[in-house]
Amino acid sequence: MTATARIPAIEVTGPIGSIMKVAARRMLGKVPDSLGVLWHYPAVFTDMMGFNRKAEKWDRLDENLSILARMASAAAIGCNACLDINYFMAHRQGLDEVKVREVPRWRESTIYTTLERAVMAYAHAMSQTPVAVTDELSAELLDALGPAALIELTARVGLMNLAARTNIALGIHSEEYAAACGLPALATSTAALGSVA
């Protein structure tokens, strides 16, 4: 994490802190600096993590669609920490890294199916202020996924909005997990770079 976090990190202490550090090392290989930022209020951090752990048990939405949706949401909001950690986790879970890597330029890329594009469009629309989900897009996904998977998709994008907006507001940035495990850099949208004439 860069020095731009708006709240300085503190030492993660206590019995619950020890458990959190062990879990972080097991999952990420190290304790993220962001844990020290959020540890100023352990109950908030542990409740957010607890809800995320519960969400890991949801199983109505295909995991590859889920990661694409979460990353499209993170890209729409601009959370580099969320993009990095999700790319890293997709690698660890054996998901389609090629597609995950391309999420920041999903509109321009030709590697996605119609359903994958619709899922990312939904995540992007849900991550706008105000929310820009249309009846047509919802109906398309309801037909393709069914109601349970569409509800899961919506909840997963909502959780990513919580994490991404929290990270950005607190100044939490990528700790470069993907680079540390040798993954190629995430693609960059040419729209984000501006047009070159």
Residue 55 pLDDT: 96
DSSP 102-117: TGGGTTT-S---HHHH
Q: What are phi and psi of 30, to 5 degrees?
A: -160, 170
Q: Which contacts of 100-104 are long-range, i.e. CB under 8 A and separated by 24 or more positions?
A: 100/67, 100/68, 100/71, 101/183, 101/184, 101/186, 101/187, 102/187, 103/68, 103/71, 103/72, 103/75, 103/186, 103/187, 104/71, 104/75, 104/186, 104/187, 104/188, 104/189, 104/192
CA–CA distance, 12 with 46 (Å, rounded to integer): 12
Residue 38's SS3 state is helix
Q: Domain 60-187 belongs to what topology?
A: AhpD-like (1.20.1290)
CA–CA distance, 47 with 58 (Å, rounded to integer): 17
Alpha-carbon distance values, 135 to 132, 138, 140, 142, 151 (Å): 10, 5, 9, 10, 15
* Total-model pTM: 0.89
Closest residue by Cα to residue 90 from 107, 65, 110, 115: 65
Residue 174: CB atoms within 10 Å: 21
Closest residue by Cα to residue 116 from 140, 82, 88, 81: 140
Residue extents of the structural domains in the chain: 8-57, 60-187
| Cis peptide leading into residue 130 (ω within 30°) | yes
CB 170 within 8 Å of CB 84? no
Residue 196 pLDDT: 32
pLDDT tens digits for the chain (197 residues)?
444 799 999 999 999 999 999 999 988 888 999 999 999 999 999 999 999 999 999 999 999 999 999 999 999 999 999 999 999 999 889 999 999 999 999 999 999 999 999 999 999 999 999 999 999 999 999 999 999 999 999 999 999 999 999 999 999 999 888 877 778 888 876 554 333 33
Separation of CA 194 from chain center: 24
